[in-house]
Amino acid sequence: MEHSERLKKLPVQFFASLVNKVSKALSEGRDVINLGQGNPDQPTPPHIVKALQTAAEDPQTHKYSPFRGIGELKEAAAEFYKKQYGVEVDPDKEVAILFGTKAGLVELPMCLMNDGELMLLPDPGYPDYLSGTVLANVEYETFPLKAENKFLPDFNAIPAAQLEQAKLLYLNYPNNPTGATADLALFEEAVALAKQNDIVILHDFAYGAIGFGGKKPVSFLEAEGAKDVGVEMYTLSKTYNMAGWRVGFAVGNPVIIEALNLIQDHLYCSLFPAVQRAAAAALTGDQTCVDELVARYEVRRNTLVKACQSIGWNVEAPDGSFFAWLPVPDGFTSEQFADYLLEKADVAVAAGNGFGEYGEGYVRVGLLVDEERIVEAVERISKLNLF
């Protein structure tokens, strides 16, 4: 038996390779400080866990729920967007419950595109965006996110021929891997571009809660006309430390929402209703836990930047997300530097080239260990005399 040609074309899972390298080092008894992961290190807040426990004790949650999600969660998503961003959302027509937003990101090209059509992706960007291009059998081009433009896209630099052909464009702010944030003007520009060229915009808002310096990240849907051209995907993984729960949602254009619901009618049966009830409790409950989490990440960010600069590593502080995007010293590629740190300092980071061509020259560091371990990691790196 052989795998299908479609499966053979799937990209190598970048994060799986990283996990294997770290696992090997750990199996050798080494004390690895893992700054390469994107897995939140804090537990889910107790009131959300309690909501799950209560819901799971209700026999009604043991049955199939509606394919397209329970009304309670859709209404919670709409209430959340109204309260957090001032955006009105119709819970019946403008919300799709997702089995984690990674699923939605991969599904969307299959929902909206035909074989051979073109989509546009950021570079560097979340590697799993590419999975959707293969499974949908579509073409893609990338647009660069460069330091000189604060890791924001320059829409004017995208070739006119690509804009004419493109059907779908992905954005992601706060950004993985760079930690950059976008303002409302960028999203307004994206809406205008989409309307002019008949392109759908998908905004991946995975890190929507995590902004620093008192600046709350902006939702794409806050831009006038955004729902005319696109959707935004929001995951509970980062905001509420619910990565393993696999629950998120898409909000926005009702035609796109219907497409997502339709494909999921065929791919899934229903997300465990108790998880949906707990997710609704997270969205509508006290948000103090979110404020505390963001404050924790900001302390870690400041600790990392101060420690790096103290050893001569000229790094920029990220404005959002729980990642920092650090330049590689002279004499190394991104992958060489990441491998060197793991081999010589037992510090794991993610090589920037795993996020695209324009990720070369950087490594991604996660703010997902406590401050003491961050300081220790930088101290280990300092002993290598690279800066």
Convert the pLDDT of each residue in 136-156 to its tens digit: 999 999 999 999 999 999 999
Whole-Å CA distances, 118 to 125, 163, 384: 17, 9, 45
Please determine, for residue 291, whether its predicted confidence score (pLDDT) is greater than 80. yes
**Is residue 305 within 8 Å of residue 324, measured between CB atoms?**
yes
Among 259, 284, 309, the domain boundary falls at 284
- The beta strand positions in the chain, using DSSP E, are 33-34, 95-98, 118-123, 139-144, 166-171, 200-204, 230-235, 248-252, 323-327, 347-348, 350-351, 362-366
With the C-alpha atoms ordered 224, 225, 230, 235, is the resulting torsion angle positive or negative? Answer: positive
Structural domain includes residue 34: yes
* Same domain (yes/no): 357, 246: no
* Same domain (yes/no): 136, 242: yes
Is the bond leading into 124 cis (omega within 30 degrees of zero)?
yes
Per-residue confidence band for 270, with pLDDT thresholds at 50, 70 and 90: confident
The domain spanning residue 300 has which CATH number?
3.90.1150.10
Q: How far apart are CA 364 and CA 115, in angstroms?
A: 33
Report pLDDT for 337. 97
Structural domain includes residue 266: yes
Report pLDDT for 232. 98
Report pLDDT for 245. 96
This prediction has a pTM of: 0.96
- 5-19, pLDDT tens digit by residue? 999 999 887 777 788
Report pLDDT for 17. 79
Structural domain includes residue 49: no
Strand partners, 118: 139, 166
The separation between CA 252 and the C-alpha centre of its own chain, rounded to angstroms, equals: 18
How would you list the strands of the sheet with 362-366, edge to edge?
A: 323-327, 362-366, 350-351
* Same domain (yes/no): 321, 357: yes
Structural domain boundaries, residue 15? 5-44+288-382
* Same domain (yes/no): 245, 300: no
* Same domain (yes/no): 103, 168: yes
How many domains is the chain built from? 2
- 186-209, pLDDT tens digit by residue? 999 999 999 999 999 999 999 999
* Same domain (yes/no): 318, 222: no
* Same domain (yes/no): 191, 247: yes
Report pLDDT for 13. 74
